[in-house]
Amino acid sequence: MLASIAKGTKAVEKGMTHLALASGDAMPCIGLGCWKIPKNDCANVVYEAIKMGYRCIDEASDYGNEIECGLGIQKALTESVVKREDLWVTSKLWNTYHRKEHVKAACLKTLKDLGLEYLDLFLIHFPIALKYVPVDIRYPPEWFYDPNAKDKRME
């Protein structure tokens, strides 16, 4: 966490609500992680969290609930619980989209699913590249073992 604070020199203080990033942005210290939130609960969980004061939402295409998370965010925005600029929304690039030519499409898919015009942070989920899988074949791409796929490292 300290490495993400501006210049890595400021410690997290008790009661601190935001981290000052080197970019000049301020990221909320506490956020809601959406991993493992069931689809049928996700929209309401996100909406209620925003109503309670959460301003940082952590998502990823691999979680399989970005559409539902987006519905919760949209409900909070529509009801004027919060303004978009007061939220910090992070999502992540999955391992099957690491090649340069797939990054933009993956990000646009995430934006569409979340119903947002922009993300505050888009991370590489894991530094492990996997074989590309088109969205229309399998989405979310997830960890997937294909026993028929040849592993070039094993040849």
The catalytic residue positions are: 63
* Closest C-alpha to 74, from 84, 88, 85: 84
Pairing of strands 88-93, 56-58: parallel
23 by DSSP, 3-state: which?
A: coil
Name the amino acid, one letter, at 42: C
**Degrees (nearest 5) of the Cα angle 23, 33, 114?**
75
Dihedrals phi, psi of 93, to nearest 5 degrees: -80, 125
CA proximity to 125, closest of 144, 103, 147, 151: 103
Q: Find the helix packing angle between 39-52 and 66-78, rounded to 10°.
A: 40
